[in-house]
Amino acid sequence: MNARVLIKNLAALDDGLVSVSGWVETVRDQKKVQFVVLRDESGAVQLVNPRSTDAEGVVVDDEPATTISGLSQGSFVTVTGQLKHDERVKLGGIEIKLESLDVVTHAIPETPIAADSSLDKRMDWRFLDLRQPKSNLIFRIQTTFEHALRTYWIEHDFIELHTPKLMASASESRAELFEVEYFDTKAYLAQSPQFFKQMAQSSGFGKIFEVGPAFRADPSFTSRHATEFTSVDSEISWIDSHEDVMQLHEDLLVAAFTAVKAKHGEEVLALFGVEVTVPTTPFPRIPLAEAKEIVKSRGYEVPRDDDDMDPEGERQIAAYVAETYGHEFVFLTDYASSIRPFYHMRHEGDASLTNSYDLIFNGTEISTGAQREHRIDVLTEQAIEKGVDPAEIAGYLDFFRYGVPSHGGFGMGLARVLMLMLHQASIREVTYLFRGPTRLEP
């Protein structure tokens, strides 16, 4: 029996006997010849089966013709046949003349989704929706993106951590936590590995990273929110300011975008019509107050009174940066302490501002980063000021009682980066199985 060949590798082979497996995409059952488009995880190929005729030239329904006539879209089959290179074949310039066909599993003829099905309907049947070449490419891009990040971290002597997702108390905002039964007490699903990342700095690890799940009990129904998502986190010691964190962040993204463009750039352009652009460094940096004035000069005034930037403001400042700097990324810096967590370090001489940033990519925030407050007395005071009872975070505060270096880091949403890179309308398109306020299946 011939070993299975991935369809993407057929073009490099000489003409001859091959075996391929995949699902049936289309069947054209003509009078004298049958055509089947077969797709596997790597691509598609045309199968050809000339019909047999009797001595008088009448078509005879024999095998595999009878089986092919009964094939439904989505059925999984294994075929063997003669590979032939023919530039006249529109699908890749190759085809396979069938010798045998084995149906591994039959698919129900009536499929529950179509190309024009709603996003919610497609999410109901996600395993079928994922058979699209575009979906397959999304998750190959995700793999390349993560691998490039991890390669950078490892080559720069970072330590990878896997922090717990069950917590005894709130990590940041109790309002956004999922509470779960935990034996005879309560536990909470972690919305961030923040406290554990900082514990690693007190442990003397120096530079760490984690790519793992995070949970937010946020009843948002926007295109960029999820209740469970993959968070990309990194934390480093011995920094002078949040500028050190921003430099790390942009270097990581340059490495990841470079890898994606090199490996998938042509496919992304063909399937998504998007040019993957490797960002130049340094990324533009604009203090938040200045960014708001720029947005106002463009005819839009951020309506909030809480010192933050709203989604339209993010889009406007991104448009300005694209026009002015030709860049898809911008760091908005110096956020007000009133809207930042208690553990963000504040400006020397101006406690109303923090050494923190948000990273905007193509008009949407993808990450928050900051220098952390490492002085126990200041940290405790800031917690109290924010209404956080030190007794509730006693274990966290202990990290700072026995010596800890200056440090900082960031957390970044993986799906948001992919969504914006590929110009998709929703993170549901780039999430393998989406979880939101009304979705727990499949």
Which residues sit in the known binding site for ATP?
365, 413-416
Q: Which amino acid is at 223?
A: S
Q: Are 237 and 407 in contact (CB under 8 A)?
A: yes
- Binding-site positions: 172, 216, 365, 368, 372, 413-416
Distances from the Cα of 248 to the Cα of 116, 360, 409, angstroms: 42, 16, 9
Name the residue among 1, 122, 115, 99 with its Cα closest to residue 48.
99
Strand order in the sheet with 166-167: 166-167, 185-189, 178-182
Q: What is the per-residue DSSP string for 40-83?
A: ETTEEEEEEEEPEE-TTS-EE--TTHHHHHT--TT-EEEEEEEE
Q: Token pair of 156, please?
A: 């720069």
Q: Are 342 and 383 in contact (CB under 8 A)?
A: yes
Report the run of H or E that residue 40 belongs to, with start and end.
Answer: strand 33-40
Give me the sign of the Cα torsion angle 67, 68, 73, 79: positive
- Per the DSSP assignment, residues forming a β-bridge with 407 are 237
Q: Give the SS3 label for residue 229.
A: strand
- DSSP character for 14? P
Q: Which residues of 163-188 are buried (b: 16+ CB within 10 A; e: fewer)?
A: bebebeebbbeeebbeeeeeeeeebb
Name the residue among 22, 24, 29 with its Cα closest to residue 7.
22
Ramachandran assignment for 99, one of left (phi > 0), alpha (psi -120 to 50 degrees), beta (any other): alpha
Q: Give the SS3 label for residue 383.
A: helix
Q: Are 408 and 233 in contact (CB under 8 A)?
A: no
Q: Token pair of 126, please?
A: 């996600």
- Binding-site positions for L-aspartate: 172, 216, 368, 372
